[in-house]
Amino acid sequence: MINETVNSLWASNAIAEPVTVQLQGSINVDTVIIGAGFTGLRAALLLAEAGQTVVVLEANKIAWGASGRNGGQVNPLPPENTPATIEKHLGSKYLDRIAQTMLGSADELFDIIDKYEIDCQARQNGWLRVDHYSQARQASRATAKAWSEYGIEIQYLEGEQLHYETGSTAFQSATLIPKGGAIHPLSYARGLAKCAIEAGAVIYTHSPAISYTKKKDKWQIATTSGKVSATTVLVCTNGYSDALIPKLAKSIIPLVSIQMASSRLNEDLISSILPNGRTLSDTRRTIVYGRREPDNRILLGSLGRLSQRGDLKAFSELKEEAARMYPVLASVDWEFHWGGHIAVTHDHLPHLHEPEPAIFAGLGYNGRGVAMGNVMGRILAERVLGKSAADSPFPTTRVKTYPFHSFYKLGAKTVMWWMRSKDKREVNRA
């Protein structure tokens, strides 16, 4: 059985976790943050630096959610959307702000890492978005060109240059986004947590927020072992949003992403794979993404699913794909297998909500939360510190729930099968 949290490469080689304890008793602060992933930790750091008293409540451990499990790819292009679709959803005022914010998200993240000297194997070596068949190339180039008009540098690769950059002959075309890169996500989250603690924030782990009530002008958040009274609440629970605010949990679909990492491989065997240290992802519905680690492991991921018993599924399909892309990987030992939830929204854009007065939530990164979670943490902190809703990069929207949300798990197997079959047919047509 492969369940969600065990056996991740990151847990095996991350920097040490700061020491934290469970909340006991009652405390009173300016802001309480729920969730200790990238979003919550960045907000905690900024608020503590601004002189607020800040507490983070985390149900499990620091970065137990997606922030400690993801592919660590820093990808600064919005997923799915083009400038035209964003303008249609939100109008031209927000298009300009969102373009600036999302396209600048990689630089913002690497700047934080530099500023706080976070030890997380950060490398801004570029992201290769490879087209899984010839027709995908037209769409991905049109989208990339549209975004390049907002200032992001983009290059198109094919032929020999593409084969060299990827180390694979499985693709005919790709877009290279030089601003992209990679981090060790769990080390980064732990490093960020350490900075937040040093700035004065207190992180309580194993302290799930289970209810909220208003008492005079303060929110009271109850955990299983204590209580926090705060003027403002930030909900940073993304794909792990739970029954605390049920409508928030129903505003996203928590898709499952799986990952595997090989054992350390002989340099001769893999010297041609991603030789310039770029990250790679493809244009499939079920996306395959990967990177090469400094210690010569290959890491690959894809959409997967959870069985009714909670086992992660679709590793055999990912291994087949690994061997198709890189025949030398057909016989390697895949030492680590893990996965987690990504939060998908109906418009494929991150959402900023205020479900109750002075309770703010930021979530829905659609697989781009490594950079965007950090940006949203800043946006939430700025709201707490007085920036008006009208001046935010994202509009504060009503929480819109997915109809028939509770049926998504039942349908996931069929939808995955359909997406995988379509992807396979297209790849075979390439």
> Contact positions toward ligand FAD, by CB under 6 A?
34-40, 57-60, 64-67, 69-73, 75, 208-209, 236-240, 242, 244, 257, 259, 301, 339-342, 363, 365, 367-371, 373
- Least Cβ distance, residue 417 to ligand FAD (angstroms): 20
Comparing every residue's Cβ against ligand FAD, the nearest one is 369
Q: Residue 63 or 427: which CB sits closer to ligand FAD?
A: 63
Q: Residue 172 or 340: which CB sits closer to ligand FAD?
A: 340
- Least Cβ distance, residue 236 to ligand FAD (angstroms): 5
- Least Cβ distance, residue 343 to ligand FAD (angstroms): 6
Q: Residue 42 or 132: which CB sits closer to ligand FAD?
A: 42
Q: Residue 172 or 303: which CB sits closer to ligand FAD?
A: 303
Q: Residue 55 or 172: which CB sits closer to ligand FAD?
A: 55
CA distance 28 to 24: 13
- Least Cβ distance, residue 96 to ligand FAD (angstroms): 22
Q: Residue 208 or 393: which CB sits closer to ligand FAD?
A: 208
- Least Cβ distance, residue 48 to ligand FAD (angstroms): 17
Q: Residue 40 or 83: which CB sits closer to ligand FAD?
A: 40
- Check the CA dihedral 200-203-204-210 and report its sign: positive
- Least Cβ distance, residue 301 to ligand FAD (angstroms): 6
- Least Cβ distance, residue 43 to ligand FAD (angstroms): 9
